[in-house]
Structure 1
Amino acid sequence: MKYVVLVWAFLWLGALPALAQTGVPRDTTRIIEPTDTTSRPAVSTDSLRRRFDQERLLNGLKAYTKRKTIAGKAAAVLFNFTPRHEDQAGLDAALLDRQYDRHNYKIVRRINIQTLTAFGYSISDTTRVPRNILEKTGNAFHMKTSRARVRQLLLFKVGRELEPQALAESERLLRQTDELVDARVFVNERTSTADSVDVEIITKDVFSLSGSLEVRGVGAASIGLRDQNFLGQGHQFRNEYEFGRNQPQSWRYIGSYRIPFRNFIYGEARYRNEYKNHSSGITVSRDFYSINTKYAGALSLNTYRYRLVLNPPPNGQEPDYSPSATIRKTCGLAAPSHCAATT
């Protein structure tokens, strides 16, 4: 029954334009002389006519569902014209960036990426360049972020439709990385058309190299070296080496290396080597990077090898350590308390 009512409603609404156009026939014998002989270019066909017809049909059907008749109530059951608000979907409408909503679902034709090095450049002032020897020297020791790394953090691709909030979310992801201090993602309005857009991206790097030196005495020191954007690919490594310690093993090393992959997947390897304490591990993780993220999780495998002092020795004697014990700990998607350990 409901399908019969639906078909009848569409036929009735479709007949309204035809009835509205029926009127008194024109007098075809009357001749109207043109008063303006200026030649004008031909008027192109209205490309929005189809959208207008669809909107008129929807408005008519919406008005029909408000009737108190049996057919109107049946149509109200079949169709829901309640607009979907962002607050109903768990989003804060006040925080959404609406300036590019008119470009939603257009095809991304080109993505132009411009990366700026750490010193002397500005995103807001394109005429700014390195001027003194300090800025130029700092840039000489810095490797600029590659365009491939920037593309890894974008939520849109060439040849695909531009999803809502993809530009604003991509700009946020670029800004929150450790290797970039600022970023802009916007549409080139001069080259945009009714069905496609060109996206412009400008990023500015952070000077990624850092280090530390701690002198603890003659022949004893601790040296640290870190890079947050190794080779401009977003790789991160941390190294700390200490020597001159008063233990049987006079040195200690702690290091890690983190690599970003596609689809916001990260892999990290860790290693620690000191007296009676060795550990290593690897982790593969994917965070909830955006509001539209459906899958996230992590898998971690860690190995610990260390010795314990069972009986404290008398003063001045070497501690008696128990035999080495190797513990392997595997952590899944849950919290660390759900890790499984084996010896």
Structure 2
Amino acid sequence: MKLEAVPGAPQDGDMEFVLATDKEFEEVVSMSHGIYGGLDYLPSRYHSWIVEKDRMVVLAKKGGNVIALLSMFVVDGGQTALLEGLRVAPWERGRGVAGVLQRFCCQLVKHRYPTVKVMRLTRDDKLTAKELSKYRVIAKQGILLVRFNAPDFSSRLSSLTLPLGLTRPPPPVLLNPDDVRGIFLERGGVLKDLLPNQTIIQDWQPFQALSGNHDLLRRKSLRWMVDDLSQPQVASLCTAPFPVPAGPLCFYLNIDVYGTGLQGIQEQLLSHLAAHAPSLPADVKCQLFLPPSMWRPMADFCTSVLGFHLEKGYTEQYLFESDI
């Protein structure tokens, strides 16, 4: 479907903008080959994205061929547009295609959703100073990437023992949907001091702590955990695992952690892994997003206690914002 003309949107005589459909899937996957070191999420999400409510997946085409993709997802009760999934074909990189496509999508969002006030996006720490200058930094998390073999880890689970601290933390609590609303999504709620800038950053997607995001987050089939229902000091969210192109039968597991209680984080990590690892057939790449101060102790725990392989050193995830 070719998109309507949008007042004030950038124009390019050689480029047309269309909404993505199922028929462009193979072109998009081919254009994205090798991205994110084999952790590309788009093949697993493309088909659901193109039909998701309040999301637009826009393709740029030249001569009928796909040369770029960008998604804009409206959240936070219509206040925020999330920029996600940017792809530019290798032969078009460095020619300004991404900028033209982003400006078009921003104008399209403003045209269709007049209540949107800001655009948000998450990136790793490889942005240039020029790119950084375009946005406000809202939050920052450390990224810990480890790899393990799921059947091997599952066979060792029952024999794993956590390092003993001065006091044993309470067992983690798996939350039901009503608990999630009360603990995570109420302004001034019990997590106000844990969430980075009152934002739930889940698998690279930022959502303000608003009740209006409840149904949206519920559709994601997450595991929500805290160490205590009344006064949580550690909270975490875990995605359902999904396949990635990193290798045959390789799965990706994303866990976002809030809080700095080391033993609480360790307990919740083990709970998430125990819930998912036994059902997975081979290798798993697990990314933990956590407060920067917790990266080193958790890296040591994953390698020395759990026997995982550290895939890379310390990197950071940034949450950016700009007016739209």
TM-score band, normalised by shorter chain: under 0.3
**Of Structure 1 and Structure 2, which has the larger fraction of its residues in helix?**
2
TM-score by length of 1: 0.19
TM-score by length of 2: 0.20
| Higher relative contact order, chain-length normalized (CA < 8 Å, sep 6+) | 2
